[in-house]
């Protein structure tokens, strides 16, 4: 048996014989040890020691995006397509501040990404040195955890902890700020950090499970309201099994799309501001709302005190802070969504339920009544039909990534999704410029899958430089650019709510986007009329490399239905 003294002597001998390593090398080796194979980044002065070592770590594949924001959003797309933690590097000062939007996006959509920023040397911190900003302080409200590295010996344990924190529980971003002198410093030591065991979230208490089951049995008009937490909690299979057992209708948030297949017989569609009528009406009429992995976001609920006004509430979420935050619940089940959904068995031992057949028939009759009519008037390309047809002609494994605006809502309304990883969009932050870098990150993370980015003429310009990244790495991303020569969603609101005062939303001076793409050496073509759509979809889907389909659409086309701000979801405006 080894005594404590013998152990200490062994450790001393190991340290004495261990090759000194720089903080930069320890950082990269520790990241590789977490199973990371891809980093999205952009070099600069303060993080240069890390990039000096990077070519010597063959396990790590680095993707040079053309803007730090693009790097961060590519890491988010990679994480969401793979279910793994993304990794992103940037330098100090503007490199770090350019990451802030991506960090906030990851935080609001609960995406695990580790962001590593270079920092000025320790002696210059706090002196307003060249390219110094307090990125630790700037990002405190939008990270799960953050570090400033003071000692290179801390790095291996710090990296292991950072990746653990990013992925455990409710996922989110973690920031590591690395001063340049710490990156250069040599050490033989490896400080031992407390090992973090893999947490296995428990399900709700037995009495709470029983109370939830009783509510389900006694409901006349039950309804599932599901969100992004279903996928993040690995509860898709359990949700579908529970829906199949109970035959209860389902509505989804934007981030919950795909948790139920779009063509599932119990699925009513997306709810909320641009939700489908059958979904919004079901919420308003239900007497039991079973909330799983959703958080009563204002875009989903409309005026909160009119949302599901007659319903009792069961709320399941990994984050206990979400339960009773915005809506008082009758039963709260915190912990593992997977376990809570699997545990719910309201009809076990032959227990009798209320007859809900009249309710379900009403829901499905409404779904049929309000089924979309794709035979729209006018001569312009009709974006909803184009997206509807594209999603059905793409292969079953296709991933759609979206920017933010009218096209984002049309994708949510009209594309079919069979899995949550099929739909990647910026939900909580609503980030324009998200779709292109997220698409290239998703394609790199899932190269075997077809990845289609749907963007608008406003959004594409915010990170259009990432077309250069597509070309450099020959990333076979398919881009559908819907061009209405306007900031469409803002223009729609100006039309409907601001007396048609179209202030600063006219983009009629757009460039020829197909020519712009070709200047980046990306294959591109333009669709101007409806009779060109079918051939355009064929060409897009057949392309082996990156391609952009530029589609001219009606500048006056709006997204319907629309729930006005401050109104009940039942008060939907139509065309």
* Closest of 244, 245, 291, 247 to residue 271, by C-alpha: 291
Q: Which residue has the tokens 């939007």?
A: 101
Q: Which helix (H) or strand (E) holds 11?
A: helix 4-17
Rounded to whole angstroms, the Cα distance separating 274 from 452 reads 22
User: Which residue is catalytic, options 73, 203, 316, 489?
Assistant: 489
* Beta bridge mates, 73: none
- Residue spans per domain, the chain: 21-187, 206-369, 383-552
Instruction: Specify whether the CB–CB gap between 425 and 411 falls below 8 A.
Output: yes
pLDDT one-digit tens code per residue, 474-532: 999 999 999 999 999 999 999 999 999 999 999 999 999 999 999 999 999 999 999 99
3-state secondary structure 229-266: HHHHCCCHHHHHHHHHHHCCCEEECCCCCCCCCCCCCC
Q: Considering 125, 144, 161, 180, which one is annotated as catalytic?
A: 180
Q: What is the CATH number of domain 383-552?
A: 3.40.50.970
Give the pLDDT of residue 195. Answer: 64
- Catalytic residue check, 489: yes
CATH fold label, 21-187: Rossmann fold (3.40.50)
Same fold: 21-187 with 383-552: yes
Confidence of residue 13 (pLDDT cuts 50, 70, 90): very low
User: Which residues lie across from 13 on neighbouring strands?
Assistant: none
User: What pLDDT score does 1 carry?
Assistant: 42
Structure confidence at residue 574 as a pLDDT band (50, 70, 90): confident
Contact 110, 180 (CB under 8 A): no
**Cis upstream peptide for 197 (omega within 30°):** no
Q: Are 63 and 444 in contact (CB under 8 A)?
A: yes
pLDDT at 194: 66
pLDDT reading at 31 higher than 90 = yes
7: annotated active-site residue: no
Which helix H or strand E contains 482, and what residues bound it? strand 478-483
pLDDT at 155 over 70: yes
Tell me whether strands 547-552 and 86-90 are parallel, antiparallel or unpaired. unpaired
Average pLDDT over residues 432-458: 98
Distance CA 243, CA 263 (A): 14
Query: Cα separations (Å) of 484 from 269, 388, 457, 536, 537?
Result: 26, 18, 7, 18, 19
pLDDT of residue 203: 76
Q: Which residues contact 562 (CB under 8 A, 6 or more apart)?
A: 273, 274, 492, 496, 572, 573
CB atoms within 10 A of CB 372: 14
Beta bridge partners of 393: none
pLDDT for 8: 47
Looking at the chain, the number of H-run helices and the number of E-run strands are 23, 20
Q: Which of 131, 465, 495, 532 is catalytic?
A: 131
Tokens of 129: 């040195």
Catalytic residue among 130, 347, 497, 498: 130
Q: Is residue 312 among the annotated active site residues?
A: no
CATH number belonging to domain 206-369: 3.40.50.1220
125 versus 4: which is more confidently predicted? 125
Active-site option among 29, 38, 40, 68: 68
Token representation of residue 78: 């990679």
Long-range Cβ contact pairs of 373-382 (< 8 A, separation 24 or more): 378/554, 379/529, 379/530, 380/530, 380/552, 380/553, 380/554, 380/557, 381/527, 381/528, 381/529, 381/530, 381/532, 381/533, 381/551, 381/552, 381/553, 381/554, 382/530, 382/553, 382/554, 382/557
The reply to whether 338 belongs to the active site is no
- Work out the mean pLDDT of the chain and round it to a whole number: 94
Average pLDDT on 411-432 reads 96
In sequence order, what are the residues at sequence separation of 6 or more whose Cβ sits closer than 8 angstroms to the Cβ of residue 317? 229, 291, 292, 293, 294, 295, 323, 333, 334, 337
pLDDT tens digits for range 364-388: 999 999 999 998 888 899 999 999 9
| Residues contacting 570, CB < 8 A, separation 6+ | 280, 281, 284, 306
**180 labelled catalytic:** yes
Residue with tokens 């990296």: 159
Q: What is the pLDDT of residues 211-264, one digit of tens each?
A: 999 999 999 999 999 999 999 999 999 999 999 999 999 999 999 999 999 999
Contact 46/120 with Cβ under 8 angstroms? yes
When pLDDT is cut at 50, 70 and 90, the band that residue 17 belongs to is low
DSSP reduced 3-state for 419: coil
């Amino acid at each position: 048996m080894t005594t404590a003294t013998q152990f200490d002597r062994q450790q001393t001998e190991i340290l004495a014989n261990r090759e000194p390593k720089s903080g930069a090398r320890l950082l990269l080796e520790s990241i590789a040890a977490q199973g990371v194979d891809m980093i999205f980044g952009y070099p600069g002065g303060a993080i240069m020691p890390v990039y000096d070592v990077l070519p010597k770590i063959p396990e790590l594949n680095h993707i040079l995006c053309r803007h730090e924001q693009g790097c961060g959003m590519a890491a988010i797309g990679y994480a969401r397509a793979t279910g793994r933690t993304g990794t992103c590097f940037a330098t100090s000062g503007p490199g770090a501040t350019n990451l802030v939007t991506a960090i906030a996006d990851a935080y609001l959509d609960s995406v695990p990404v580790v962001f590593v920023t270079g920092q000025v040397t320790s002696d210059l911190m706090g002196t307003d040195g060249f390219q110094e900003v307090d990125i630790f302080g700037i990002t405190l409200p939008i990270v799960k955890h953050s570090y400033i590295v003071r000692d290179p010996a801390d790095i291996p344990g710090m990296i292991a902890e950072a990746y653990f924190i990013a992925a455990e529980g409710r996922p989110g971003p973690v920031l590591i700020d690395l001063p340049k002198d710490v990156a250069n410093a040599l050490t033989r030591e490896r400080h031992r950090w407390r090992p973090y065991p893999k947490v296995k979230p428990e399900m709700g208490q037995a009495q709470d499970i029983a109370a939830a089951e009783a509510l389900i049995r006694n409901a006349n008009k039950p309804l599932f309201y599901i969100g992004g937490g279903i996928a993040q909690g690995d509860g898709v299979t359990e949700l579908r099994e529970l829906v199949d057992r109970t035959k209860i209708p389902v509505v989804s948030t934007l981030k919950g799309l795909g948790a139920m297949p779009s063509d599932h017989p119990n699925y009513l569609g997306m709810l909320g501001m641009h939700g489908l009528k059958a979904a919004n009406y079901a919420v308003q009429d239900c007497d039991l709302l079973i909330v799983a992995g959703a958080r009563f976001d204002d875009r989903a609920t409309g005026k909160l005190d009119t949302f599901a006004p007659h319903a009792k509430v069961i709320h399941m979420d990994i984050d206990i802070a979400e339960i009773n935050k915005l809506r008082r619940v009758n039963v709260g089940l915190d912990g593992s969504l997977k376990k809570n959904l699997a545990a719910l068995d309201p009809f076990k031992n032959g227990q009798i339920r209320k007859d809900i057949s009249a309710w379900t028939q009403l829901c499905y009759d409404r779904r049929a009544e309000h089924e979309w009519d794709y035979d729209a008037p006018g001569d312009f390309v009709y974006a909803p039909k184009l997206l509807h047809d594209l999603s059905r002609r793409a292969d079953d494994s296709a991933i759609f990534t979206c920017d933010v605006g009218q096209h984002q809502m049309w994708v949510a309304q009209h594309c079919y999704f069979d899995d949550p990883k099929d739909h990647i969009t910026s939900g909580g932050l609503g980030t324009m410029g998200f779709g292109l870098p997220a698409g290239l990150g998703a394609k790199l993370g899932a190269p075997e899958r077809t990845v289609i980015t749907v963007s608008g003429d406003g959004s594409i310009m915010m990170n259009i430089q990432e077309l250069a990244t597509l070309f450099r790495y020959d990333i076979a991303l398919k881009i559908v650019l819907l061009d209405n020569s306007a900031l469409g969603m803002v223009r729609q609101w100006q039309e409907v709510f601001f007396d048609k005062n179209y202030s600063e939303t006219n983009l009629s001076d757009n460039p020829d986007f197909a020519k712009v793409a070709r200047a980046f050496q990306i294959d591109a073509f333009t669709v101007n009329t409806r009779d060109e759509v079918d051939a355009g979809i064929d060409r897009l889907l057949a392309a082996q490399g990156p391609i952009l389909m530029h589609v001219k659409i009606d500048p006056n086309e709006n997204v319907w239905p629309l729930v006005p701000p401050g109104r009940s979801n039942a008060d939907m405006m139509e065309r």
